[in-house]
Amino acid sequence: MGEAVYRSSRTSRDFARQSRPTLGPSTGQPPSLIQLQQLAGNQAVSRLVAKQANSRSFVQRAITYGTDPTTLITAGSKDLLYGLNIPRALTKGRLSGPQKQELRTIDDYNRHVGINALMTSANAALGLYDVRAELASTAAWALATPQPLAAHPNAGDLQAWITMLRAHGVQVGLEDLGTRAKFFADKIKRKGRFKKNRKESQANDPKADRLTANDVRDFLNPAHTKGTGQTALAAMPAAKQAALHAWVYRAFFRRTSKLGQDFTVAQGGTVHFNTVADPNYNPATGANNMQDRGLDTMSQTGNNAKNRSITVSELRHAAKLAKAHPGSFNVYGER
């Protein structure tokens, strides 16, 4: 393990352990964890959690470490919930009516500004160009939204998020990864950026079908328009197209999720990070063994050089951000 990687994992480990394990009172009826672990944005899992929330068979559980966010989040605060989708949903489901009047996840923000509908795992490479156009614009936000932004109860917060996205448009739009370096390796090839956004290996595919760092860099070229990008995509074999969509999807949401923490801190809010996870989760079997501080274990021992969990990246970003804003983070466990 290189020194830089060691420092990063050590930082996230120290951050994840900043809250001493305490057994706090339960303030609601959270469900047991079901045998499924997904990254943020899985609507099917969210619906399943919501369905189980009304079941009489739920086990009432306590916060196992840190402070229960439901005791800290106040009406009107800009606090956001972070963590793997199901553990985070458990907390979100226990929020009171007044607490739910504000948007409580960065997924909520992205959905209501129209990003999630465009940036799907099956179409992210092309959806990115629609998002890029809005990031570069100074006119009113023009992406199709679930409801008119001006009529949304949280219109001011959504506009603030749009302003934040536009201020970081080059990074959010992945333009910096589409630039060819003059003297050093391209940015996409440094710090494992290409490999950690690969969803799965293409080792069994013919070489002509395999996605390479150069393929991604050329597609993300800032000089591309949606039209020229579509032409470049159409020239790729189907397997490479699918891999590119998946790569762009992961890279894009990895960046917006981390930016959401910066946004929360800038708004004076607190990031509540549920760090329970199953470090050995295998999607092939679905067997799940959630553990306290499991994300910390994943950050330290997981194969993070490739196919890195977005939530692990969020944890590492939080650890760095907390150094300058230690009072803006609450690490806790609920499972």
Closest by Cα among 9, 39, 37 to 252:
39
pLDDT value, residue 304:
65
The contacts of residue 194 (CB under 8 Å, 6+ apart) are 188, 213, 216
pLDDT value at 39 more than 50: no
- In this prediction, residue 228 has a pLDDT band, given cuts at 50, 70 and 90, of very high
Query: What is the spatial distance between Cα 96 and Cα 73, in angstroms, rounded to a whole number?
Result: 10
Mean pLDDT of 131-157: 97
pLDDT value at 312 more than 80: yes
Mean pLDDT of 242-264: 97
pLDDT value at 256 more than 60: yes
pLDDT value, residue 113:
98
Comparing 24 with 179, the larger pLDDT belongs to 179
pLDDT value, residue 36:
31
pLDDT value at 9 more than 80: no
Query: What is the spatial distance between Cα 109 and Cα 80, in angstroms, rounded to a whole number?
Result: 10
The contacts of residue 185 (CB under 8 Å, 6+ apart) are none
Domain residue limits, the chain: 3-332
Joined together, the tokens standing for residue 136 give 């570069």
pLDDT value at 192 more than 80: yes
Mean pLDDT of 8-34: 46
Query: What is the spatial distance between Cα 288 and Cα 171, in angstroms, rounded to a whole number?
Result: 34
Query: What is the spatial distance between Cα 317 and Cα 44, in angstroms, rounded to a whole number?
Result: 27
Q: Is the dihedral of CA 146, 82, 88, 103 positive or negative?
A: negative
Query: What is the spatial distance between Cα 63 and Cα 100, in angstroms, rounded to a whole number?
Result: 20
Comparing 106 with 23, the larger pLDDT belongs to 106
